Amino acid sequence: MADKSFYQGGYQVKLIDNGDGTYRLATDAKITVQDLQIGAVELKDADTDAHANIKAANTARSTATVVLAVQAVDASGNVLTLPAALAASGGLKVEGVAGGVVQPISDAALDCAAVAEYNVTLTNANTEYSQALPANARKLIFRCRTADTVRYAWATGKVATPTTPYQTLRASAEYALDGIEVASGAIYLASATAGVVVEMEAWS
């Protein structure tokens, strides 16, 4: 078999032999893929005849402008509402979720009302000393007054005879902890040098 052609309505029609007794229509059409532009796009309300135009983000709007709004829903399709405190805070700062509802974080809760200052003297070498921290401490800074090394830990029994895990505050260094909330607790200190003083500040 071979390709065939015939005239239909004054136009030449070409058929290409598929080699299996069938033919397909030959076409000289050329398809070029390029950006597709759609003009005057708008959305229509499913229940009313209200339309919303799709415009650039910096387009001027008024109270009469119809916009597309979205809402958070639960698995049953019920709209989830946010607490008024979250809306009042701008809806950007959250500290967690309770009962499926986002809970806002209070700026006031982050403010420190008081600072406690301590000078902890490590009278004897390689002996554990402790300093209780104020309730709900949010910031802690401590340093050795002299250029001596201090061992510290958050549990007792670690620093007198060095027992891991414990931490080392190198000579002339400073330890700072911020952006946390320690409900209660103490820090345990020791040094190989007798008589050193650890200066400490704790905000709550």
pLDDT in single tens digits along all 204 residues of the chain: 576 776 777 777 777 777 787 877 777 666 676 666 666 666 777 677 777 766 666 677 776 776 666 667 777 877 776 555 555 555 545 555 565 555 555 555 556 778 899 999 999 999 999 999 988 888 899 999 999 999 999 999 999 999 999 999 999 999 998 877 777 789 999 999 999 999 999 988
- What architecture is the 115-203 domain classified under in CATH? Sandwich (2.60)
What is the rounded distance in angstroms from the CA atom of residue 191 to the CA atom of residue 49? 79
Q: What pLDDT is stored for residue 77 in this prediction?
A: 76
Amino acid at 122: L
DSSP helix/strand/coil, 39: coil
Sheet strands side by side (includes 174-182): 115-122, 196-203, 137-144, 174-182
Q: Token digits for 137?
A: 């401490």
Report the pLDDT value the prediction gives residue 118, as an integer from 0 to 100: 96
R_g of the chain computed on alpha carbons = 37
Rounded Cα distance, 139 and 46, in Å: 55
Tell me, what's the pLDDT at 179? 78
Distance of alpha carbon 50 from alpha carbon 141, whole angstroms: 61
Query: Is the Cβ–Cβ distance between 169 and 102 less than 8 Å?
Result: no
pTM, whole model, 2 decimals?
0.49
52: Cβ contacts below 8 Å, ≥ 6 apart: 42, 43, 44, 45, 66, 67, 68
C-beta separation of 174 from 84 below 8 A: no
Look at residue 31 in the predicted model and tell me its pLDDT.
Answer: 65
CATH 2.60.120 intervals, the chain = 115-203
43 pairs with which residues across the strands?
Answer: 52
Please tell me the predicted confidence (pLDDT) of residue 158: 96
